[in-house]
Amino acid sequence: MSTNLLRLFPVCAVLALPSLAFAQAENVSTLPWAYSTFFGTGWYRIGDDRNAFSIRYAPRKALREASINDDGTRNIGIEMRIPVTVGLDHFPLDDLTGSVNPENLANVSVTPSIYFEIPMSERWTLLPFVAAGWGTVLNGEESAWTYWTGVRSRYAVSVANVDVAFINSVGFVGYTPNHGSSTNFWPVMTAVEMATPLGSLRHDDRQLILHWHGGYTFFQEDLDVLQRDRTTEPITDQWEFGFAVSKAEDRIKLWRFSFDRLGLSYRFSTDGELQGIGFVFESLFDK
What is the secondary structure of 189-233 as a DSSP string? EEEEEEEEEEEEEEETTEEEEEEEEEEEEEEEEEEEEE-TTS-EE
Closest CA relative to residue 148, chosen from 133, 136, 169 = 133
Going from the N-terminus, what domains does the chain have, and what CATH number goes with each?
Answer: 20-280 (2.40.128)
Whole-structure pTM value? 0.81
Q: What is the DSSP letter of 248?
A: T
DSSP, collapsed to helix, strand or coil, labels residue 121 as: coil
Neighbour tally for 90: CB within 10 Å:
16
Which of 12-26, 28-42, 159-173, 247-261 is most confident?
Answer: 159-173
- Burial bucket for residue 250 (CB in 10 Å: 0-12, 13-18, 19+): middle
Q: How many whole angstroms separate alpha carbon 17 and alpha carbon 14?
A: 9
Instruction: Give the per-residue pLDDT at 94.
Output: 58
Residues 54-101 have pLDDT tens digits of: 777 788 999 999 999 988 889 999 999 998 887 776 665 556 565 666
Residue 238 has, within 13 A of its CA and on its CB side, a CA count of: 28
Which of 23-32, 177-186, 235-244 is most confident?
Answer: 235-244
Q: How many whole angstroms separate alpha carbon 51 and alpha carbon 68?
A: 46
> What value does the CA radius of gyration of the chain take, rounded to a whole number of Å?
19
